[in-house]
């Protein structure tokens, strides 16, 4: 598994800081049924916010957690641990922010 680290410089409150964002390698994006795909945590959060509760339930329910599996296997196991047992859309979004 290859994870690409993207670095970006940002200015916050007058201080210059480097922000590191993990991005999956090509072919490991998380694909939604509508054709949209995400390659990092920020994109995932943005897309999860757009899903209806019924759409969210196709990925996360009592039988599976596709978001957790993708984070664990493709992006960031530490972040995955935060949402492993989460089944609520709003709670998952809050934990991923």
Under a CB-based contact definition with an 8 Å cutoff, are residues 21 and 12 in contact?
no
- pLDDT of 21 reads 58
pLDDT tens column, 26-70: 899 999 999 999 999 999 999 999 999 999 999 999 999 999 999
Mean per-residue pLDDT for 16-28?
Answer: 68
- pLDDT of 9 reads 46
- pLDDT of 22 reads 80
């Amino acid at each position: 598994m290859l994870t690409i680290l993207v670095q970006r410089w940002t200015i916050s409150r007058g201080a210059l800081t480097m922000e590191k964002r993990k991005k999956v390698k090509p072919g490991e994006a998380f694909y939604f049924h509508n054709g949209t795909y995400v390659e990092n945590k920020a994109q995932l959060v943005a897309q999860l916010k757009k899903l209806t509760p019924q759409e969210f339930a196709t990925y996360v329910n009592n039988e599976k957690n596709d978001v957790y599996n993708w984070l664990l296997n493709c992006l960031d196991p530490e972040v995955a641990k935060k949402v492993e047992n989460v089944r609520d859309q709003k709670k998952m979004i809050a934990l991923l922010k």
